Structure 1
Amino acid sequence: MRKPFAKKTLCAVAISAALVFSVSGLGEAQAQQAGSGSNASYTSYTTFSSENKVPQAKPKWSADLSLPSADGTRDLIAPIIVSGNVIYVNGGKLTARNVKTGKTVWTFGTKLKQGALQTDGRVIYAYGEKGMLYWVDSATGRNTRSYQLLDSKSKKVPQDILGISLSNGALYASYASGIVSISTSNGRENWRNETFYIPNAPYLINGTLLMDTYESGAITVGTAYAIDPKTGKTKWRLPGSHSALLKADGDKLYYADQWPDIDNPQTRIDVFSLSTGEKLQTITYMPVEQEGYPANSYVQSYFGNVLIDGQDLYLISQRQGVYRYNLNADPKVVKPAFIQDNGTLIAGPYHGKLFFTDERNMSLHVRKIVDQSYVTIEGVNNPISQLNLIDSGMYVGQTDGTVYAINVTTGKALFRYQTGARAYGTFQTVGDTLLVQAENKLYAFALPAELTKPLKAASQDSNYSKAQAKLTIDGVEKTFQPSMMTAANRMFVPFRFLTEAVGAKVTYDQATKQATVTYGDRVFTIADGAPYALVAGEQTALSAAPATINGSLYVPVKDIGNLLGISVVWNASTRTVEVKTKA
């Protein structure tokens, strides 16, 4: 009878010893933590993973991809889409898969590089080791032509290709010594230009090749070269140090001046002639104080501090907001619009919206440009490493491996998927399929119908609403035709109706969207989207830019009276625009 008793006693002793050891260890850990001091730990309060209610998706199919080589670029090269197939380089092979099924359609080659592929729809252009370029039939994967890039002197030493581009029947390959142009129709060289050092592949702008690059000397500068696409001769080089091209408009090229000047916080936009390289203009911008937000002496952003969209130039002030200038307005005369936000701008403008991460880079939100209204994006809860806006969809890849598909209008997340990746290639859509390149995996997901719908062309109409208001001119009541509109706490009047109602003559240029008004000895011109009027050839600032709404041009009530030289007052108590043409 003693043996069982002894066994139980031994077990109890063992358990007691374990408890003593455990409690002793816990106390030691607490003592160590306390001894480290109160400033030796960090806790970030965030949501629990169980609180994420965004539905999980299942991929239609997935495929393995090769990661970039350790000695090359860290960029993930996006696949190309041709005739319902997704085509990419994996393990040195060019591979085509059916987008819908994921099945392999064909493969080609063994030693191809992961650089960007080019296509004209019928042929895929890829490059490999020892300077080889290949023409591959997009339907069959059959190699139809090849070319080897050799040194220009002995014609024996293969040159390593750095990148390729395609334009107007010519394939351009960059290599350490320069750029070569090859005819796509016969595979023969058109020309070489070896005046550059480690150039990028060029791109065509209005009949001229441009090539962006960095050059090292006393300092490293960003520059660009213009090249004649027929002869390969260099036409000009951009002086100083500049950003990548911000905007091309006819013969005008817009660049941000990046020459170091720590004592001058101004942002300078240089305008150059595409045909001659001559500097045509320098526009200087200085952020101004806005409603308690002091002007920053140091302006920076994800974009390198400046971006241009149409006729608007955006100057980003880190953690304060965005200054929006009209590109044609004199910044000394016309005050910029200020969009206040404490986050970091990472995307936009896109259909009248700007996209910001929060101060901790742990969430995403949207601001409408017209009224600065705020929309929270559902789901996003970790740093973003990739974001793409396509039609009605916004696709986000987080550094914790989560991918989100989001309705860009509502901010609602429709599905998510955990990839395990930290880096992503560009998200792409093909019909109702989303392609996700997550490091060494390619996934295909079925898209909800609402994300495949193209957004309507950016329209100002939805930003304005009808305002119930009366009109009196010299005490006589009239009816607005069309009605007044309101947006961002401003009242807008139909420009042509009101000016003609007081006896002014209006002519409208449909091509330039400019209206010229003659009223007595006053003559001025305004234009849709321009926050200024031209009076005797000089710019006069307006409180807000005129807008075309439902086919009619509208201007702020505040401005129309000043331009006409008459009294135009908004009486809020009676909701009446009171016009007095006589003193």
Structure 2
Amino acid sequence: MGKGQNFKKLSCAICVALMLPLGEGGVTVQAEEAAVSTRNPYYQQVEAPVVQPAWSLPVAKAKVVDNVEPVTAVAENGKVFMLQPNGKLAALKAASGAKLWEYGSQLAQRMVYNNGAIYGMTTAGALYKVKEDNGSKVWSAALGYGAADSIKVTGGTVYVTQGQKMAAVDAATGKIKWRIAEDPNNYYFGSEALEAEGVVVRNYAVSGAITVSLLAVYDKTTGNKLWEASRQLAPLAIKDGVLYSERELFMLDDDPVNRKIQIAAFNLRTGALKGERTYSWTDKAATDGVYHGGGSYSSAFLNGNDLYIHQGQRLVLYDFRNYVSGAEPLKKWAQESYDQRIPLNLVHQDRIYYTDEHSHGLIAMKLANGQYARFDQGENNTVQAAIFGKGVYVGQSDGLLHAYDLISSKPVFTVRTGSPEFAPLLKTGGMLLIQSGGKLHGIKLPASLK
């Protein structure tokens, strides 16, 4: 018998031996079983065409200070105005990324666009104004607000806030009209300025036995405080000399079953209480005796004359113009998973919006039929999301950005940014601007999302 035949026989014998069970003295080799084995049945991979940016350029990385969202870019009129890593402001054509002009140095991450000009802050705390078309400086005003948290232009005035401080600057000349500062030991977390009917309104958190919201009203011309009211939230509306504000009921009326929203009506100039509205309901789901306030449990917002009130298991609608004590709501909707969602208090495309407490994803509810659509069903959690028109854009913690059609909820395209960091998304004309990982990407939008 040849060597080749002997080798074949030996090989077959080995194969048979490997397939047969071993007798005593043999060793059985088995894969180790996991002590715990689970999978996520809700995991989905978004299937959409991957598109490449039309252009990408370095942009200053957003630096969040004291939980205040920085602003490193704004987009208007087919242009992008961005803060470069070198601290200079640059204007670009949104379609091509071509640079139009540069301005300044050591500029802070705080700017807004208004009526043909960009208003921003320097790191030294000066407010500046430059022209949109050529970047030429119009004026600057030394405010000393090196950590300004908001800039807002209303009418002919620029309002700048930094914590408890607020300044009013003439938008045409740069002249400082007035500056005020509340006691930093008692006032915290001031809101941006709201100008209406000759006054300026801010909300603060004030400390005492507990921390509560405080509404403060100032004269627009002088900055003098006209009045303030504790336990009042930001204005729902200011109309015909009356300020409407929801009252904060925490530790005042903590009945978990018999719930209510109270809306006070104040004289805008004097703060005199003109009246109060009460909207009541029974929370039949509150069986544990624990009071849950605010958010989806009990909060209100206005959209025109439509007053929406989140009432735990349901969302309801009232006509704000025609208040009748004890009246039933005009409409009701079931609030799905309300204990896990934060309402965004706005209406867009006939939809109400929430964010999920866990995924931070965007969720929409159609007012026409109460149906919900989730835009957090991608591969990872949401970092940044925005809606422009009928386009929903979701930046994830894996660096992917998915674009969806708001009406159909279907994915349209995906962008691979390469970074889990996202700053606010921007849009001008037919371009989406993505800030991610120190890069600004220009994406040409399909006709369906323009």
Determine which structure has the larger strand proportion and give its number.
2
Q: Is 1:46 matched with 2:42?
A: yes
Matched, 1:106 2:97: no
Counterpart residue identity of residue 106, structure 2: K
One of 319, 323, 330 as aligned partner of 1:326: 319
Q: Name the aligned partner's letter for residue 43 of structure 1.
A: R
TM-score relative to the length of structure 2: 0.77
Q: 1:61–1:231: structure 2 CA closer, same or farther, 3 Å change rule? A: same
Give SS of 1:450's match.
helix
Aligned residue in 2 for 1:536: none
Matches within 5 A, 1:75-224: 75-77=69-71, 79-91=73-85, 92-115=87-110, 117-149=111-143, 161-175=148-162, 178-195=165-182, 197=184, 199-224=190-215
State the distance in 1 between where 2:81 and 2:424 align: 14
List per-residue Cα deviations over 1:17-73 (Å, max 9, x = no partner). xxxxxx99996x75xx54xxx5xx653223453xx3222222112222323336454
Partner of 2:3 in structure 1?
A: none
Spell out the pairing of 1:416-565 with structure 2 (5 A cutoff): 416-422=414-420, 424-438=422-436, 440-452=438-450
Q: Which residue is 2:347 aligned to? A: 349
Secondary structure of the structure 1 residue equivalent to 2:414: strand
CA shift, 1:114, in A, is: 0.4
For residues 73-98 of structure 1, the C-alpha deviation after alignment (integer angstroms, 9 at most, x for no partner) is 45242622344221122332212111
Query: 2:233 touches 2:245 (CA, 8 Å); kept in 1?
Result: yes
Counterpart among 253, 271, 292 of residue 243 in structure 2: 253
Q: Deviations over 1:84-129 (max 9, x none)?
A: 22112233221211101112222222211102x1333333222113
Amino acid in structure 2 at the alignment position of 1:168: G
Q: Tell me, in whole angstroms, the C-alpha distance in 2 between the residues paired with 1:439 and 1:304.
A: 38
**Matched residues in 2 for 1:385 and 1:111: separation?**
28
Alpha-carbon distance, 1:240 to partner: 1.9
Q: Judging changes above 3 Å, is the alpha-carbon distance between structure 1 residues 341 and 54 closer, same or farther for their aligned structure 2 residues?
A: farther
What are structure 1's unaligned runs of at least 5 residues? 1-22, 151-157, 453-583
Residues 416 and 25 of structure 1: CA distance in aligned 2, closer, same or farther (over 3 Å): farther
Distance 2:347 2:282 in 1: 21
Partners of 2:54 and 2:444 within 8 A in 1: yes
**For residues 406 and 165 of structure 1, what CA distance do their matches in structure 2 show?**
31
Further displaced range: 273-282 or 356-365: 356-365
> In the TM superposition, what is the alpha-carbon distance from 1:208 to its structure 2 partner?
1.8
Deviation at 1:300, TM superposition (A): 4.1
**What does residue range 47-86 of structure 1 map to in structure 2 within 5 Å?**
47=43, 49=45, 52-69=46-63, 71-77=65-71, 79-86=73-80
SS in 2 for 1:113: strand
Q: Deviations over 1:394-419 (max 9, x none)?
A: 22333343322222222222112233
* Inter-partner Cα distance in structure 1 for 2:360 and 2:150: 35
Distance 1:112 1:363, change over 3 A: closer
Partner of 1:273 in structure 2? 267
If the length of structure 1 is used for normalisation, what is the TM-score? Answer: 0.61
Q: State the distance in 1 between where 2:104 and 2:239 align.
A: 41
Letter in 2 for 1:247: A
User: How far is the alpha carbon of 1:303 from its aligned partner?
Assistant: 9.7
Find the counterpart in structure 1 of residue 303 from structure 2.
309
User: CA 1:285–1:56 in 2, change beyond 3 Å: closer, same or farther?
Assistant: same
CA displacement, residues 401-443 of structure 1 (integer Å, 9 cap, x when unaligned): 3322222222222112233454544333211111223353322
Tell me the distance in 1 between the aligned counterparts of 2:182 and 2:175. 21
Distance in structure 2 (CA, Å) of the matches to 1:174 and 1:111: 20
RMSD: 3.6
Once residues 24 and 428 of structure 1 are traced to their aligned partners in structure 2, the CA distance between those partners, rounded to angstroms, is: 62
Distance 1:376 1:218 in 2: 40
Tell me which amino acid in the other structure corresponds to 1:137: K
- Aligned equivalents of 2:423, 2:107: Cα separation in 1: 19
Q: Percent identity over the alignment?
A: 23
Q: 1:300 to 1:84 in 2, by over 3 A?
A: same
Query: Contact 2:95 / 2:431 at 8 angstroms: preserved in 1?
Result: yes
Distance across 1 between alignment mates of 2:358 and 2:48? 22
- In structure 1, the partner of 2:366 is 368
> Which residue number corresponds to residue 560 of structure 1?
none
Structure 2, unpaired ranges of 5+: 1-26
Residue of structure 2 in register with 1:235 after alignment: 226
Question: CA 1:266–1:448 in 2, change beyond 3 Å: closer, same or farther?
Answer: same
- What number of residue pairs does the alignment pair up? 409
**More divergent stretch after superposition (181-190 vs 169-178):** 169-178
1:173 partner letter: V
State the alpha-carbon separation in 1 of the partners of residues 70 and 353 from structure 2. 23
- Asked if structure 1 preserves the Cα contact closer than 8 Å seen for 2:266 and 2:272, the reply is yes
The alpha-carbon distance between structure 1 residues 104 and 251, as it changes in their structure 2 partners (threshold 3 A), is same
- Partners of 1:281 and 1:25 lie apart in 2 by 81
Pick 1 or 2: higher relative contact order, CA cutoff 8 A, min separation 6.
2
- In 2, are the aligned partners of 1:401 and 1:422 still within 8 Å (CA)? yes
C-alpha separation in 2, matches of 1:359 and 1:166:
33
Higher mean Cα deviation, 120-129 or 348-357?
348-357
